[in-house]
Amino acid sequence: MKTKIAILGSTGSIGKNLFNILEKDFRKFQVQLLSTNTNYKELLKQANFFRVKNLIITNKKVFNLACKNEKFRNFNLYNDFNYLNKIFKKQKIDYVMSAITGIDGLKPTVEIIKYTKKIAIANKEAIICGWKFIKKELDKYKTSFIPVDSEHFSIWFGLKNIDFKFVEKVFITASGGPFLNTKYKDLKNVKVDDAINHPNWRMGIKISIDSSTMMNKVFEVIEAKNIFNTTYKKISILVHPKSFIHSIIFFNNEMIKLIAHNTSMTIPIKNSLYNESYLQTKKNKVKIINLSKLNELKFFELNKKHFPLVDILDFLPTKPSLFETALVSANDQLVDLFINNKIKYIEIIEGLLSFLQKKEIKKLKYINKFTLNDIFKINEYVRLKISKKYI
């Protein structure tokens, strides 16, 4: 029997990686749903390959273009995720990849959980801003969850059958990105191409810029705290320029686990897709690790003078609140402005730190009871506030 799957955000970086994996083993999969925001050409290509009946195009203008295109006439086209109950009528499907970027990925991630046996989530914003809603649905519908970020996947992998209460400390590693050895004062003339020139990973523009400012690691610490139901005190960032070790787990019995894999997102994605019994029978061509890489494992503490955004971790609320949404939204808007040449690179950092100190934003730390709609309202308010300041 074929494995039934759905991909939310199939035309993005994670979605394409997953699709490449599926193509190599296409006889084993039945893809029931694909979605995109604007890249309808790539969506059509994917849909034709797997004969996918159901497609979601969330951008209204692009959706209308697709509806007029004869090439889409044999598909069920939808403009939003309000028809999941129509698409998944009977039994649960086997696997969902949630890879929509931004706050927009939160609601569909929460809503599709009831329709799948397993969900792999690559959407940082969903886990940061709406984890309590995701966790509620996971528990209610007994859906298993696997984080796809290499750091969280490695922690998850290292903790299989081990309760987090036995963990003394977890280190999430950071490569340092393109500006690891650049002094803060020398970042004034950084261009977009400079910021996305990551030494180890090939990622989307937005996440590459977040990696360069180290905001990505701030997000990952929040994610880890939520996913593993722990405290910020138990999670730290350690610089590891080789990006080979993804997490280090210190247990309270003095044992240590270092979880490693090569710098390819296909590894956590593939492991989230296939179950262990299948991997045991499948003949995989495993790339043997180069000894020189093992012999050059260098770690050192983060220089906060180079990456001042890491200081945000010192004033995060202990309980989930709307402050995290304000943090994500403000950063997203500032990065968008930088990408569109509206602000300088250094204004991402200075603008974010300044915005988070506003009284109205700091008050959000104490709002622990909130709905999904509250998250969307804060997101819209913050992005508009940031835009008005710089445009």
In a domain, 115, yes or no: yes
Is there a single domain that holds both residue 289 and residue 228? yes
Is there a single domain that holds both residue 283 and residue 353? no
pLDDT for the residue 205? 87
Is there a single domain that holds both residue 210 and residue 101? no
Is there a single domain that holds both residue 117 and residue 175? no
Is there a single domain that holds both residue 340 and residue 350? yes
In a domain, 306, yes or no: no
87 phi, psi to nearest 5 deg: -75, -45
Q: Any idea what the CATH number is for the domain that residue 125 is in?
A: 3.40.50.720
Q: Kindly state the DSSP code that residue 185 receives in the 8-state scheme.
A: G
In a domain, 259, yes or no: yes
Q: Any idea what the CATH number is for the domain that residue 363 is in?
A: 1.10.1740
Is there a single domain that holds both residue 137 and residue 157? no
Cα distances from 232 to residues 127, 219, 313, 363, in angstroms, run 15, 12, 8, 20
In a domain, 137, yes or no: yes
Is there a single domain that holds both residue 126 and residue 207? no
In a domain, 307, yes or no: no
Return the sign of the alpha-carbon dihedral for residues 43, 192, 60, 56.
Answer: positive
pLDDT for the residue 289? 66
Judged by DSSP in three states, 349 sits in helix
pLDDT for the residue 262? 86
Amino acid letter for position 126: A
Alpha helices, H only, 255-316: 266-273, 276-281, 291-294
Cα distances from 318 to residues 11, 231, 315, 321, 366, in angstroms, run 35, 7, 9, 9, 10
Instruction: Name the domain count of the chain.
Output: 3
Is there a single domain that holds both residue 326 and residue 217? no
Alpha helices, H only, the chain: 13-24, 40-50, 60-68, 84-87, 106-112, 124-141, 150-158, 192-195, 205-213, 215-227, 266-273, 276-281, 291-294, 323-339, 345-355, 359-362, 372-390
Is there a single domain that holds both residue 350 and residue 375? yes
pLDDT for the residue 59? 97
Q: Which residues have a Cβ under 8 Å from the Cβ of 37 and sit 6 or more positions away?
A: 9, 57, 58, 59, 62, 100, 104
Is there a single domain that holds both residue 163 and residue 290? yes
In a domain, 312, yes or no: no
In a domain, 223, yes or no: yes
Is there a single domain that holds both residue 233 and residue 333? no
pLDDT for the residue 284? 59
**Are 155 and 251 in contact, with CB atoms under 8 Å apart?**
no
Last residue of a domain, one of 147, 164, 195: 147
Q: Which domain holds residue 332?
A: 317-391
pLDDT for the residue 256? 97
In a domain, 70, yes or no: yes
pLDDT for the residue 291? 76
Is there a single domain that holds both residue 141 and residue 10? yes
Give dist(CA 368, CA 135) in Å, integer.
Answer: 16
Q: What is the mean pLDDT of each run of 10 residues along the chain (391 residues)?
A: 95 94 92 96 96 96 95 95 92 95 95 97 96 98 96 96 95 92 90 87 84 95 97 96 94 95 90 71 61 83 92 96 98 96 96 97 97 97 94 74
Last residue of a domain, one of 99, 116, 147: 147
pLDDT for the residue 181? 87
Last residue of a domain, one of 301, 333, 364: 301
**Are 36 and 9 in contact, with CB atoms under 8 Å apart?**
yes
